[in-house]
Amino acid sequence: MAPRVLISDKLSPAAIEIFKRRGIAVDFKPGLPPAELRAIIGDYDGLAVRSATKVTREVMEAAPHLKVVGRAGIGVDNVDVTSATHRGVVVMNTPYGNAITTAEHAIAMMFALARQLPEASASTKAGKWEKNRFMGVELFSKTLGLVGCGNIGSIVADRAVGLRMKVIAFDPFLSEKRALELGVEKVELAELLERADFVSLHAPLTEQTRNILSRENLFRLKKGARLINCARGGLVDEAALYDALKQGHLAGAALDVFETEPATDSPLFTLENVVCTPHLGAATAEAQENVALQVADQMADYLLTGAVSNAINMPSVTAEEAPRLKPYMELARLLGSMAGQLTAATDGAIRAIRVEYEGHAGELNRRPLTAAALAGVLGPLLGAVNMVNAPVVAKERGIEVAETTHERSGEYQTLLRLTVVSDRFERSVAGTLVAGDKPRLVNIKGIAVEADFAPHMLYVTNQDRPGFIGQFGMILAQAGINIATFHLGRSAPGGDAICLVGLDGPMPEVVLAEVRRLPLVVQATPLAF
């Protein structure tokens, strides 16, 4: 059955055509009331939104089949990302489609603020000619301080350098090399506040950035500085900003975003030195088309191929990587599932999970592979766990996750080894790919075992003694259970041995009990993949 996508906000018709052209069933129903959205969302695999639809926890709970939420825009304030992650739903945004538009709006706001254009326009239209009232300032040679220098901030920097401004930037993720390429000086926030004539905000709203321009920081700005915010309203203490403007500490502010939106009433609206627009940063025809096309392509890629682009809550997998990574992700999942099922059978609390990569596997994008392995381990223990929520679930449960790459050459061209450490034991399983894309188990607890995975298997550890295989086979034969594959391994003659049997169907409990009663059996655990 083809995946189904609901578009619940106004998107370009071209986005609808992208879904249809790629074989995805799509319904366009903008403006749904929350109750109606909850009533129908259970039928869909994907949900495409802009900013009007609120994707709440209640919406997530009503959507058992939902796999992806695509936000046509940068901010995901209207999506409960935490609930989505816990339910294993990928949340994507489109950080590039409106970057130029938003950057241009910030530059336009800076010009408007520097030359008092809105006030001058209103005065002139009112029949006044107050030429001497509106004395502006040049941007030439002024210092622009960027708080955030990512996709949008870097475009603003480029435009400002073209205006012959001096650009300084505070961004913990900005490298010295990138700063040099952009022609900006990387500084700490305190220095930026002291030096900047204009400050433009281009940071996401997180717990770390909320109120980054607090009352203290607003009054640390040099006297006469001007503020532009086209990012997120919560970055600025609006009450403190009002005081700083009213007292003349700041010369002006240009705001496209507000802490509460729609912003229909604010003390800031009473000040002449404040320029306001109603969140127009991405409001151009080009940007609306770009983000709609981008979100449709991203969602279609994920639903059809597993490619993940611009996800908020899971590692990215490009469309080019997805086919190559798919067999490795399946191997990681199977190894994790085996370790998880064996751990669940022994009631051990997991303390740590280690994933090691050798050979070709070490050259890949490993974050999705590790996420797949974690999902495999935790699924048998906790139920609804997938690549999206597995890293979060592991962190919440205090499970230490380690990822290691080995450059050493070994017996296999590629090898994944997964080790689970519990409060009772440490168990490792390792696997490789044969014929390019077929997962194969090659080692369990240090014992070499060459075995293909089957939908139903029985894992038996026993003491290596003559006669065991005959007794074991007799029990299965008398129960009418057909053996599809049979794999053996042992640590040493007469030592610990492993028997891994592929079956045509699930192992009946009564037969499993007989196997467990065999004198040499240490453990017998049915596995399902």
Catalytic residue among 130, 181, 261, 396: 261
Q: Which residues contact 308 (CB under 8 A, 6 or more apart)?
A: 90, 92, 301, 302, 314, 315, 316, 317, 368
Catalytic residue among 232, 354, 427, 440: 232
Task: Kindly report, residue by residue over 171-202, the tens digit of the pLDDT.
Answer: 988 888 899 999 999 999 999 999 999 999 99
Task: Kindly report, residue by residue over 483-522, the tens digit of the pLDDT.
Answer: 889 888 888 887 788 989 999 889 899 999 999 999 888 9
* Per-residue pLDDT, 124: 95
Q: Is 450 helix (H, G, I), strand (E, B) or coil?
A: strand
Architecture of domain 316-453: 2-Layer Sandwich (3.30)
Q: Which residues contact 153 (CB under 8 A, 6 or more apart)?
A: 103, 146, 169, 171, 200, 202
* Per-residue pLDDT, 482: 87
* Per-residue pLDDT, 231: 94
Catalytic residue among 105, 279, 354, 427: 279
* Per-residue pLDDT, 255: 98
| Rounded CA separation 198/511 (Å) | 77
Classified by CATH at the fold level, domain 4-96+286-305 comes out as: Rossmann fold (3.40.50)
Report the interhelical angle of 99-115 vs 151-162 (nearest 10°).
Answer: 50
Extract the residue ranges of the chain whose pLDDT is less than 70.
347-348, 383-384, 408-409
User: Is 99-276 in the same CATH topology as 4-96+286-305?
Assistant: yes
pTM greater than 0.75: no
Among 341, 85, 113, smallest CA distance to 226 is for 113
Is 261 catalytic? The answer is yes
CB 154, CB 177: distance < 8 Å? no
* Per-residue pLDDT, 309: 85
Q: Which amino acid is at 27?
A: D
Parse the chain into domains and list their residue ranges.
4-96+286-305, 99-276, 316-453, 454-529
Classified by CATH at the fold level, domain 99-276 comes out as: Rossmann fold (3.40.50)
Classified by CATH at the fold level, domain 454-529 comes out as: Alpha-Beta Plaits (3.30.70)
